[in-house]
Amino acid sequence: MLEELPRSLKLKSPQYILALLSIVISLGIALGKMRFAPVYELIYFLPFIISWVPLAVIWKWMYDPTYGIFNYVIGLVGIAPRGWLVNPKLS
């Protein structure tokens, strides 16, 4: 696959990687010395954190012993609901 790339791309890729690494390292050093570094870190990591919270809530609802979709499905088959996250043998 690397053989199919034009020569100009082969020469520029390492330059882009080095430029990106230098930017990331310099931002890391700058954030370490800045007064509001925790605020900038919060702004940077907030999209990652926010995306995991709804996902965790959805999974918790799915495993809910009373209203969860898993207990609903096994209830259709005739199996009694289970506390999926409460019972250590099941979780």
Pairwise CA distance, residues 91 & 86, whole Å: 7
pLDDT higher than threshold 90 for residue 77: yes
Highest average pLDDT, of 10-14, 62-66, 83-87, comes from: 62-66
In this prediction, residue 78 carries a pLDDT of: 92
Average of pLDDT values for 21-48? 75
Question: What's the maximum distance between 2 C-alpha atoms anywhere in the chain?
Answer: 65
**Which run of H or E residues covers position 61?**
helix 37-62
User: In 34-76, at which residue ranges do the beta strands (DSSP E only) sit?
Assistant: none
| pLDDT band, residue 25 (cuts 50/70/90) | confident
What global pTM score does this model have? 0.43
Structure tokens at 77: 């088959």
Instruction: Specify the amino acid at residue 24.
Output: V
